[in-house]
Chain A
Amino acid sequence: MHLVVCIKQVPDSAQIRVHPVTNTIMRQGVPTIINPYDLFALEQALRLRDEFGGKVTVMTMGPPMASDSLRRALGAGADAAVLLTDRFFAGSDTLATSFALSQAIRKIGESEPVDMVFCGKQTIDGDTAQVGPGIATRLGLQQLTYVAKVCEVDRQTRTITVERRAEGGVQVLRTTLPCLITMLEGTAPLRRGSLADMLRAARAEITTWSAKDAGIQDVTNCGLRGSPTVVKRVFAPQARAEKAAQIAVAGRSPDEIAEEVLGLILDRSPGLEDELHRRSAVA
Chain B
Amino acid sequence: MKKELPERFRNHRHVWVVVELERGEVHPVSWELLGEGRKLADRLGVELAGVVMGPPTEATRRAAGEAFCYGADLVYLAEHPVLAQYRTEAYARALTDICESYKPEILLLGATTLGRDLAGAVATTLLTGLTADCTELAVDQDGSLAATRPTFGGSLLCTIYTLNFRPQMATVRPRVFALPPRVEKPVGRIVLHTVQFAEEDIVTKVLDFVPDALTAKSQLAYADVVVAGGMGLQQQENFQLVKQLAATLGAEYGGSRPLVQKGWIPADRQIGQTGKTIRPRVYIAAGISGAIQHRVGVEGADLIVAINTDPNAPIYDFAHVGIVADAVQILPALTRAFTRRLSFNRLVG
Contacts and interface: CB of A to CB of B under 8 A. Distances in A.
Interface of B is mostly: mixed
Interface stretch (A41-49, A67-75, A80-88, A254-262): A254-262
A167 interface: yes
Contacts of A207: none
A219 interface: no
Question: 4 closest pairs, A vs B, by CB?
Answer: A133-B120, A228-B129, A244-B322, A258-B333
B23 to A, nearest CB: 8
A94 B330 contact: no
Given A228-B128, A277-B349, A171 B160 contact: no
A210 B343 CA distance: 72
A174 B113 contact: no
A167 B27 contact: yes
A240 B322 CA distance: 15
A241 B159 CA distance: 23
A95 B120 CA distance: 9
A138 interface: yes
B267 A172 contact: no
A138 B121 CA distance: 9
Contacts of A165: 113
A264 B212 CA distance: 36
Given A25-B152, A136-B121, A276-B338, A257 B333 contact: yes
A246 interface: yes
Interface string A245-272: 1110100011101110110110011001
Contacts, number: 267
A195 B296 CA distance: 43
Contact of A269 (B87, B203, B302, B318): B302
A166 B121 contact: no
A276 B324 contact: no
B306 A244 contact: yes
B303 interface: yes
A256 to B, nearest CB: 8
28 contacts: A16-B155, A94-B130, A95-B127, A131-B120, A142-B203, A143-B89, A144-B204, A146-B113, A164-B113, A166-B86, A167-B20, A167-B114, A168-B211, A171-B85, A227-B129, A229-B129, A230-B160, A236-B155, A237-B150, A246-B311, A247-B322, A249-B324, A254-B332, A261-B330, A272-B225, A273-B341, A280-B250, A280-B343
Contact of A168 (B155, B217, B317, B330): B217
A175 interface: yes
Which of B92, B117, B154, B342: most chain A Cβ within 10 A? B117
Interface in A151-175: 161, 164-175
B215 interface: no
A146 B211 CA distance: 16
A127 B137 CA distance: 18
B249 interface: yes
Interface string A9-45: 0000100101000010100000000000000000000
B117 A172 contact: no
Contact of A145 (B116, B123, B130, B319): B116
Interface of A is mostly: mixed
B163 interface: yes
B305 A174 contact: no
B183 interface: no
B282 A269 contact: yes
Contacts of B267: 186
Contacts of B112: 167
Contacts of B282: 265, 269, 272
A283 interface: yes
B345 A231 contact: no
A130 B130 contact: yes
A57 B302 CA distance: 50
B159 A233 contact: yes
B329 interface: yes
A132 interface: yes
Interface in A40-67: none
B158 A234 contact: yes
B240 to A, nearest CB: 16
A203 interface: no
A124 B293 CA distance: 12
Interface string B138-173: 000000001000111111111111111100000000
Given A143-B89, A244-B318, 18 more contacts: A18-B155, A94-B130, A133-B120, A137-B120, A145-B88, A145-B116, A171-B208, A228-B129, A229-B129, A244-B315, A244-B319, A247-B321, A249-B325, A261-B337, A265-B303, A268-B302, A269-B303, A277-B345
Contacts of B318: 240, 244
B132 A173 contact: no
Contacts of B27: 167
Contacts of B154: 237
A236 B156 contact: yes
B156 A255 contact: no
Nearest to A228: B129
B252 interface: no
A98 interface: yes
A231 B22 CA distance: 34
A142 B323 contact: no
Contacts of B130: 94-95, 128, 130, 229
Contacts of A171: 85-86, 206, 208-209
